[in-house]
């Protein structure tokens, strides 16, 4: 962390044990994301309750490059927040989730789908129950009639665009599944 941690106690005496716990939690955040610029933790003691224990309110303000994150654990009527360590844990758990989400957005961790290989049918042998696909890089890939999915092998034509799953076979590359391109294929994928 570039600027030292600031811990503010409001409405009650400073506690060495509480400060130690907060420092441990901040160290954990700093190990996860080392570019933390500053961290301010404020602890309030809500002493408005007459019948039961007082509730703790924890607020964490974290500055990182490009963002300021705030975890604000309001006690409301959560009896668990009568224990300051539970309130601290929950506030830091919320901050950890926010920091993880920020890191995912910054790294642009978005699910991507790999586009299967594309090609055109270069050869058909109905009597032999097979065909060959010419790929964009000029290779020929063997396929059997049983590899054709959602189409009739007998209705295929030389020049039909297909996408397929390729694997190594006894006689070289072969397509394990062949899908004839329809209106839903990605335009411009095959260049010959």
Q: Does residue 80 sit in the same domain as residue 142?
A: no
Out of 21-25, 82-86, 131-135, pick the least confident: 82-86
Q: Does residue 16 sit in the same domain as residue 101?
A: yes
Alpha helices in 108-154, H assignment, sequence order: none
The per-residue pLDDT for range 154-176, each reduced to its tens digit, is 999 999 999 999 888 887 889 98
Domain boundaries, position 84? 6-107
Q: Does residue 98 sit in the same domain as residue 10?
A: yes
Q: Does residue 28 sit in the same domain as residue 68?
A: yes
The CA distance from 186 to 184, in Å, is 7
DSSP 174: E
**Helix, strand, or coil here: 57?**
strand
Q: What domain count does the chain have? A: 2
Burial class (CB in 10 A: 0-12, 13-18, 19+), 184: exposed
Alpha helices in the chain, H assignment, sequence order: 16-32, 84-107
Per-residue confidence (pLDDT) for residue 6, from 0 to 100: 94
User: What's this model's pTM, rounded to 2 decimal places?
Assistant: 0.53
Query: What are the beta bridge partners of residue 118?
Result: 163
Average pLDDT, the chain: 83
The answer to whether residues 44 and 17 touch, using CB atoms and an 8 Å cutoff, is no
For residue 187, tell me if it sits in a domain: no
Q: Which of 83, 107, 131 is the endpoint of a domain?
A: 107
Copy the structure tokens of residue 115: 């586009």
Strand order in the sheet with 55-64: 6-10, 38-46, 55-64, 67-73
Q: Does residue 22 sit in the same domain as residue 83?
A: yes
| Phi and psi, residue 60, nearest 5° | -120, 125
For residue 191, tell me if it sits in a domain: no
Q: Which of 88, 107, 126 is the endpoint of a domain?
A: 107
- Kindly tell me if the per-residue pLDDT of 125 is higher than 70: yes
CB contact set of 108 (below 8 Å; sequence gap of 6+): none
CATH of residue 28: 3.30.160.100
For residue 58, tell me if it sits in a domain: yes
The per-residue pLDDT for range 3-50, each reduced to its tens digit, is 789 999 987 788 999 999 999 999 999 998 888 999 999 998 765 544
For residue 128, tell me if it sits in a domain: yes
The stretch 116-139 carries a mean pLDDT of 91
Q: Does residue 102 sit in the same domain as residue 18?
A: yes
pLDDT more than 70, % of the chain:
83
Name the E strands within the chain: 6-10, 38-46, 55-64, 67-73, 118-125, 130-135, 140-144, 148-149, 161-169, 172-180
Copy the structure tokens of residue 94: 């919320």
Q: Does residue 77 sit in the same domain as residue 133?
A: no
- Kindly tell me if the per-residue pLDDT of 186 is higher than 50: no
| Phi and psi, residue 142, nearest 5° | -75, 145
Per-residue confidence (pLDDT) for residue 168, from 0 to 100: 86
Q: Which of 73, 107, 141 is the endpoint of a domain?
A: 107
Q: Does residue 129 sit in the same domain as residue 97?
A: no
Q: Does residue 122 sit in the same domain as residue 66?
A: no
CATH of residue 126: 2.40.50.140
Per-residue confidence (pLDDT) for residue 158, from 0 to 100: 94
For residue 185, tell me if it sits in a domain: no
- Kindly tell me if the per-residue pLDDT of 182 is higher than 80: no
């Amino acid at each position: 962390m570039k600027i030292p941690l600031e811990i503010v106690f409001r409405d009650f005496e400073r506690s060495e044990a509480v400060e130690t716990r907060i420092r441990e939690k901040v160290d954990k955040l700093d190990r996860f994301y080392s570019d933390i610029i500053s961290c301010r933790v404020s602890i309030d003691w809500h002493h408005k309750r007459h019948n039961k224990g007082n509730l703790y309110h924890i607020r964490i303000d974290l500055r990182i490059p490009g963002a300021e994150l705030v975890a604000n654990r309001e006690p409301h009527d959560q009896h668990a927040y009568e224990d300051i360590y539970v309130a601290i844990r929950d506030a830091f758990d919320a901050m950890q989730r926010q920091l993880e989400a920020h890191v995912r957005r910054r790294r642009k961790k978005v699910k991507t789908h790999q586009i299967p290989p594309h090609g055109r049918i270069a050869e058909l042998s109905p009597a032999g129950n097979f065909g060959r696909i010419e790929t964009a890089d000029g290779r020929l890939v063997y396929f059997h009639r049983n590899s054709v999915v959602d189409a009739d092998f007998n209705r295929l034509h030389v020049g039909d665009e297909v996408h397929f799953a390729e694997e190594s076979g006894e006689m070289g590359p072969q397509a394990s599944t062949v899908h004839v391109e329809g209106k839903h294929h990605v335009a411009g994928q095959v260049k010959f």
